[in-house]
Structure 1
Amino acid sequence: MTITPEVLNKFKERMHISHNEDDNLKSLLSSSVIAIKKSCGPFEISGNTDIDIQARELVFERTRYAYNDALEYFKENFLSEITSLGLAIEMERMKDAGL
């Protein structure tokens, strides 16, 4: 999973990270994208659709938890957002398939 400089910079701004630990952050972001896609379905981390923006927010939150060594609390604290994103992705897939 490739994390674009734009996505990395958005995350660093959100977290107020000014020092260079880009390799670590890219790894955490990539892991979060994979985990959210596995739970919810496909999206584009750099996209601008409502689903992509919602997914990016969830990826950033999961990455924040991972960065702060609190990943075990993420799923419980964001279960409704994970479910909502999964439903939105599935509804979009069904709409695109004409169902």
Structure 2
Amino acid sequence: MADVTEELLQEFKDRLHISHKSEDSHLKRLLSYSFADISGICGPFSLETDNPGKELVLERSRFAYNDALEFFEDSFLSKINSFALSNLSDEEESDETVQV
């Protein structure tokens, strides 16, 4: 499971208007699973530097929290594809830099 920071957890809780701490472990698990899923689809990325990836993780977690995960990919397919392509381009550029 990805290490979910307190800042990411708080951002997610703010988005869902959750002020209590009783669900924190469940929310961290959702965020971690979402990060793993998006990374598997789009390739590795950092939650701290890749805003499109972070946004997809937060949205997928929101869908999972609301028991509507089956609708996530259809709703965000174009953003998933765009991020995957841009993430692939970033990886290729860094590979070319290393090989030179």
Per the normalisation by structure 2, the TM-score is 0.91
Aligned to 2:26: 24
SS in 1 for 2:96: coil
Deviation of the 1:22 alpha carbon? 0.4
Q: Which amino acid aligns with 2:20?
A: H
Q: Which amino acid aligns with 1:28?
A: L
Aligned to 1:10: 11
- Count of aligned pairs: 95
**In 2, Cα distance between the equivalents of 1:6 and 1:57?**
14
Structure 1, gaps ≥5 residues long: none
Q: Which has the larger radius of gyration?
A: 2
Per the normalisation by structure 1, the TM-score is 0.92
Aligned to 2:66: 68
Extract structure 1 runs of 4+ deviating beyond 6 A.
Answer: none
Q: Which amino acid aligns with 2:30?
A: L
CA deviation map 1:37-75 (0-9, x unaligned): 000001111x13xxx111000000000000000000001
**In 1, Cα distance between the equivalents of 2:15 and 2:54?**
12
Determine which of 88, 91, 94 is the counterpart of 1:93: 91
Structure 2, gaps ≥5 residues long: none
CA RMSD, 1 decimal: 1.1
What is the percentage of aligned positions where both structures have the same residue?
Answer: 46
**In 1, Cα distance between the equivalents of 2:3 and 2:91?**
24
Q: Which amino acid aligns with 1:13?
A: D
Deviation of the 1:82 alpha carbon? 0.5
